[in-house]
Every structure is written in C-alpha cells, then in structure tokens.
Structure 1
Amino acid sequence: MKYRLYVSGFCNNTRNLQSSMGIGGVILNDRGEEKVFSEMIGKGTIMEAHCYAILHGINEILNDKTAKFINVYSTNLLIIDYLNKKNVKLPMKAEALLEKILEILDTAKISIKYEYFEVNDYVYVRNLAEEAIKV
C-alpha cells in the first residue's frame, strides 16, 4: 500500500521555546481513503511540532502492515532538507526526533520520499494544527 502524508505543526507563540504545540495531518492511501489527525501535544518549539506531526503520521501509517511506501509532505523546508540528507543544522531536540523517525523507517523497511509543500497549497492541514491548540 502506498501512502501520502501531509503534515504541519503550529505553536501559539513561535518566539517562545516552551509554547503550546499543535499538530495536524492528512493521510491518504492509494485506495483514496483519508484519515485526519489534529492534536495538542504539549509544550515546545515550532520545529518540534513539525517533527511530532511527521512522527505521529508515520506511526499511524505503520499500523497498516501492508504499507510499502510513504510520500511525506511537510510545510517545513528545513526538516525536509534534513530528511533528504542535505547539510542543514537543526536544534538538538528536533534532530533527535528526526533521527528517531529515520530509525523507525529503517527498521520497518519502508520506502519513503520527503517533499516540501507550501502551507497555502493545503491550508486544511495548517488549520488542523491550529485547531488542536484551541480545543
């Protein structure tokens, strides 16, 4: 089974290192089925929120034992560049989360592709992350 995962993270104060974080995402499979998630996940940075959104979506997909491929779309270009093995520097906590994602996928033996998408291209995903904080 092939999946597309669209994710975004949101913080209510991006200048604060301990702000409320919300994540949102849409998971689509090649049968056209859709699963949506929106969740407040605690305190942290906007970078961490994006990482948690990817981690949450991938964990949801891995519940399907027939998953063979995931195309991850994130609104955070720095994270996408890191996951695509470009030489970028991330905060330590965000880097640790992304390394955990890479380890999980390596263990699961699933092909994956990471792509950036403009939040304006899929505003619904950003709204899911924002709504998680408001609940």
Structure 2
Amino acid sequence: MLQKSAMERIMFYVQVHSIEMRNDLDDAELSTKNIINFYCQACRYSVTDERGLLKHIISEKHVERLHFLYKTKYIRECIKNNVEIQPSTILNPMRMYRDLNKIVCFGNSKYACSLCFENNIVGESVLIAHCADSKHAERKRGLPEILE
C-alpha cells in the first residue's frame, strides 16, 4: 500500500486531507524521541503512526467530513466568482467513488485517490479510468489488511 516515498505520502496527507504535523514534545523529549504527531483538523483527531493515519483518512467519518468541507469551499468559490456550480462534480454524493474507491472530490471535476496517493486526477472520465486501473484495484483489495 505504501509504495510512494514517505515525503510524497506526507505531502499527500497535508495537501488532500488537511493533515498537520505537530510535535507536542518538550525540548528534552524532542532530543531523544523521533515522534511525529499527525493531526486531522477536520475531525480533531491525532495519531502518531502512519498506519493509524491511513485508517483514519479512509474511515467513513473522515471521508464524509472532508467531502463536506470541499463541497462548501467549492460552492463558496463559485458564488464569489459568479460561476455556475457544476452539480455532477461535487453536489452528487459520489458514494461509489468516495466510499468504495476512497476518492476525494475537490469540486470542478478535480479528484484525488487516497489509496494510490494520486492528487492530480482531472475529469470524470479520467477518474473512472483510474478506478478501473489494475494498480488501484489491487490497492482496493488490500484495504481490509489496513483496517485490521
């Protein structure tokens, strides 16, 4: 599952899932311990290991909150810029993609895949092709392993 480099995965968590990296240790502990605290702003949730973070970002609660935040942001941007809201993009709950394939929708036909750590999926046809790809399907089959 974790086939991307650690830096690529951390950038994905920060950019797509609004994860903050915090260090809650004092100076004495900091010099002896190498601990990163991942903090999810949307859910107010902290975890210190990447496996726990993965479990969290693919959980239904987190995915729904993130979808709501991006949907709200997209609608506000459309109103601010006097642009028509594209209902097929984000107002549709997209449960098949969001819940089953762990896709994040930013609005305006822009997507990211939490299973593959892909952040540049543009267009619904590209999204459909991505979800049908064998690498994505393999990672999807590996989900139960992460969730145990």
Q: What is the TM-score with the length of structure 2 in the denominator?
A: 0.27
Higher-RCO chain (CA-CA 8 Å, sequence separation at least 6):
1
Higher share in helix: 2
Q: What is the TM-score with the length of structure 1 in the denominator?
A: 0.29
Between structure 1 and structure 2, the one with the greater Rg is: 2
Higher share in strand: 1
